[in-house]
Amino acid sequence: MSRLDDYIKLINNKLIDYLPGRNNLQKNVVEAMEYSLNGNGKRIRPLLVLEFCRACGGDINKALPFACAVEMVHTYSLIHDDLPCMDNDDFRRGKPSNHVVYGEAMALLAGDALLTRAFEIILSPETIKSVGANVVAEAAACLADNIGVYGMIGGQVIDMESENKSVSKDVLDSMHSLKTGALIVASAKIGCIIAGADKSKIEAATEYAKSIGVAFQIVDDILDVTSSTEKLGKQVRKDQQENKSTYVSIMGMEKSKKTVLDLTDKALSALLKFDSNENLLKDLAVSLASRDR
């Protein structure tokens, strides 16, 4: 089994371990949290935490709570994003959205609970003991800063306010670098922080993560035009229907494809800062660029 498969298995198991226990009175919210965590996610963010930690000479067991935390944050953002008052998506990761199954109120609370649980896990006495309070505080701050108003939520705000109007490439860049990019960058940085990496490595990891983050989004926009709902596990052609600006609508299909290749090259160059042969991170960048779902 490859390291990638090992990681995915480790992450998937640990994500469920890290859920709160199922007390009778709260069992439904834990079930709703698990439902979305169990989706067929790519686990890109936790993979970045683990692999950048390893690439910087760190112990992935120390990085594991942070890996699960970033996936919980990502999952909370998807649940809230799918709600009727937001994107109103009934389908996610190939199955009905959280609110379709559990109702809007429970989905809202399951999202809130996942965000809160992420901080519970990384601030737990076990994590403090394993990683040290200073490192935990630095990594937790990196997470918080990247998912707030000038991070992920800020991106959601721009996205929401851009509905039904065409926006400039600058605004589109801002939106995606925050909405998707910030948590991807935080994941890579946190992996480095846990390993005690130096500034130059953190910068290289940031460069890599930024590049694959934008490339990922452009591929998303391309697939929204070229793929099918069945294949993607979420509704396609929504952008067009809603007159949303996308990389494809702004740059055209060819330029979009070319930009994905350029960004992937940039990501691969950033990996040169790391001594070891970073096949997993190379493969990840390449596979995200060439993915068909």
> Contact with a copy of itself (CB under 8 A): which of 59, 90, 145, 262?
145
Residue with Cβ nearer a copy of itself (105 or 272) = 105
Asked if 272 touches a copy of itself (CB under 8 A), the answer is: no
Asked if 161 touches a copy of itself (CB under 8 A), the answer is: yes
Q: What is the DSSP letter of 91?
A: E
Q: Cα(166)–Cα(244) distance, rounded to whole angstroms?
A: 6
Are 205 and 191 contacting, i.e. CB atoms less than 8 angstroms apart?
A: yes
Asked if 20 touches a copy of itself (CB under 8 A), the answer is: yes
Asked if 168 touches a copy of itself (CB under 8 A), the answer is: no
Residue with Cβ nearer a copy of itself (33 or 212) = 33
Are 179 and 156 contacting, i.e. CB atoms less than 8 angstroms apart?
A: yes
Are 153 and 147 contacting, i.e. CB atoms less than 8 angstroms apart?
A: yes
> Contact with a copy of itself (CB under 8 A): which of 113, 172, 195, 204?
113
The region of 2-10, 152-160, 217-225, 266-274 touching a copy of itself under the rule CB under 8 A is: 152-160
Q: Which long-range contacts (CB under 8 A, 24 or more apart) does 173-177 make?
A: 173/214, 176/213, 176/214, 176/217, 177/210, 177/213, 177/214
Structure tokens that stand for 196 in this block: 């005690």
Residue with Cβ nearer a copy of itself (16 or 133) = 133
Asked if 147 touches a copy of itself (CB under 8 A), the answer is: yes
Q: What is the DSSP letter of 147?
A: S
Asked if 25 touches a copy of itself (CB under 8 A), the answer is: yes
Asked if 253 touches a copy of itself (CB under 8 A), the answer is: no
Under 8 Å CB-to-CB from 89, ≥6 apart: which residues?
Answer: 81, 82, 97, 234, 235, 238
> Contact with a copy of itself (CB under 8 A): which of 62, 95, 119, 130?
119
Q: How many residues interact with a copy of itself (rule CB under 8 A)? A: 51
Asked if 156 touches a copy of itself (CB under 8 A), the answer is: yes
Structure tokens that stand for 123 in this block: 């601030």
Asked if 190 touches a copy of itself (CB under 8 A), the answer is: no
Asked if 6 touches a copy of itself (CB under 8 A), the answer is: no
C-alpha to C-alpha distances, 92 to 113, 137, 182, 216, 222, nearest whole angstrom? 19, 33, 21, 17, 18
Q: How far is the CB of 202 from a copy of itself (least distance, A)?
A: 15
Helix H or strand E segment including 92: strand 91-92
Residue with Cβ nearer a copy of itself (106 or 270) = 106
Torsion of CA 135, 140, 142, 145, to 10 degrees: -150
Buried b (16+ CB within 10 A) or exposed e, 141-179: ebbeebbeeebbbbbbebbeebeeeebeeebbbbbbbbb
Q: How far is the CB of 190 from a copy of itself (least distance, A)?
A: 13
Asked if 12 touches a copy of itself (CB under 8 A), the answer is: no
Structure tokens that stand for 38 in this block: 């169990």
> Contact with a copy of itself (CB under 8 A): which of 1, 5, 23, 272?
23
What are the residues binding a copy of itself (CB under 8 A)? 20, 23, 25-26, 28-30, 33, 80, 83, 85-86, 103-106, 108-109, 111-113, 115-117, 119-120, 123-125, 128, 133-134, 136-137, 140-141, 144-145, 147-150, 153-154, 156-158, 160-161, 171, 174
